[in-house]
Amino acid sequence: MTRRYLIVGPPGVGKGTQADLIATEFGIPHVSTGAMLREHVARGTELGIKAKSTMDAGNLVPDDLVVAMLAERIAMDDARDGFILDGFPRNLAQANALDDLLAGGLDLVIALSVSDEEVLRRITGRRSCANGHVYHVTDNPPKVAGICDVDGFELFQRSDDTDEVVTNRLAVYRASTAPLLDYYARIVADVDGLGTVEQVRSRVFEVIGS
Ligand code: AP5
């Protein structure tokens, strides 16, 4: 049985948080194109240099760059029996490219939603470490303020987490990514993203189990 899942939803809805829980539960990789791109930016690779200004503005990195990066990742051994995709595909061109890469397609699309107000509240309170561990200042705080529980690194705010950029990311989501919900209509499960991480987790695992 393969577990080829996609988690989709607006910026800050909790995709990465829930994808980590799914990955741990089923022993499949959490494949986040946003995290992969941020790693390229941090390492100063050619891809990172090309992507940085686009990401800082909250726009989509060109499809050819992202598709090549994703294709390489899901061809790795640990993704043979499945993966949880987070942040890819983000438009119809990327969905078509994924169809070409995957015989049999995806098994399930988990569509998370919350209001724009909650998106802003979650994103402005988000703190991350250099290894991608994510916290929220009030809802999911680290044990020691400003320090990652897992690796002791200092926590920081993402450069694309300002009010202005989040507003653009929401607009990009509506224009380019939300139409994927129709594209995948046959395998979409809608999940209310409001509530604690644990409450949302229960809903997510219910749709995976069904
Ligand atoms: P990406 O990293 O994919 O960003 P995003 O989609 O905007 O999503 P976020 O990472 O902001 O949020 P999330 O939904 O994962 O929420 P999280 O779990 O962290 O993309 C960034 C950029 O990279 C894009 O703008 C683009 O430029 C580029 N890019 C990436 N993929 C691309 C692609 N395929 N094509 C082209 N360009 C691409 O949670 C948010 C906060 O809320 C955290 O603080 C968390 O602790 C908290 N939280 C989570 N759940 C709850 C809860 N239930 N209750 C309260 N707080 C919660």
CATH of the domain at 167: 3.40.50.300
Is residue 130 a part of any domain in this protein? yes
- Say what the pLDDT of residue 5 is: 98
Atom of ligand 1 nearest to the CA of 169: 25
Q: How far is the CA of 46 from the centre of ligand 1 (A)?
A: 23
Is residue 44 a part of any domain in this protein? no
| Ligand 1 near 196 CB (within 6 A) | yes
- Say what the pLDDT of residue 130 is: 87
C-alpha dist (Å) from residue 39 to 33, 36, 63, 96: 10, 5, 18, 25
- Say what the pLDDT of residue 210 is: 53
**126 is an active site residue:** yes
From 90, 122, 127, 201, active-site residue: 90
- Say what the pLDDT of residue 131 is: 86
**169 is an active site residue:** yes
- Say what the pLDDT of residue 132 is: 85
**122 is an active site residue:** no
Is residue 80 a part of any domain in this protein? yes
Domains in the chain, number:
1
Is residue 129 a part of any domain in this protein? yes
CB 92, CB 78: distance < 8 Å: no
| Ligand 1 near 82 CB (within 6 A) | no
Is residue 60 a part of any domain in this protein? no
DSSP the chain: --EEEEEE-STTSSHHHHHHHHHHHHT--EEEHHHHHHHHHHHT-HHHHHHHHHHHHTPPPPHHHHHHHHHHHHTSGGGTTEEEEES---SHHHHHHHHHH-TT--SEEEEEE--HHHHHHHHHTEEE-TT--EEETTTB--SSTTB-TTT-PBPB--TT-SHHHHHHHHHHIIIIITTHHHHTGGGEEEEE--S-HHHHHHHHHHHHH-
Is residue 83 a part of any domain in this protein? yes
* Average pLDDT per block of 10 residues along the chain, 210 residues long: 96 96 97 96 96 97 98 97 97 98 95 96 93 90 96 94 94 98 98 96 92
| Ligand 1 near 204 CB (within 6 A) | no
> Torsions phi, psi of 142, nearest 5?
-70, 165
| Ligand 1 near 201 CB (within 6 A) | no
Domain that includes residue 89, residue range: 3-29+76-209
Is residue 115 a part of any domain in this protein? yes
pTM summary value = 0.96
From 15, 52, 122, 201, active-site residue: 15
Is residue 20 a part of any domain in this protein? yes
Atom of ligand 1 nearest to the CA of 140: 46
Ligand 1 pocket mutation pick from 37, 114, 138, 172 by most atoms within 8 angstroms of CB? 37
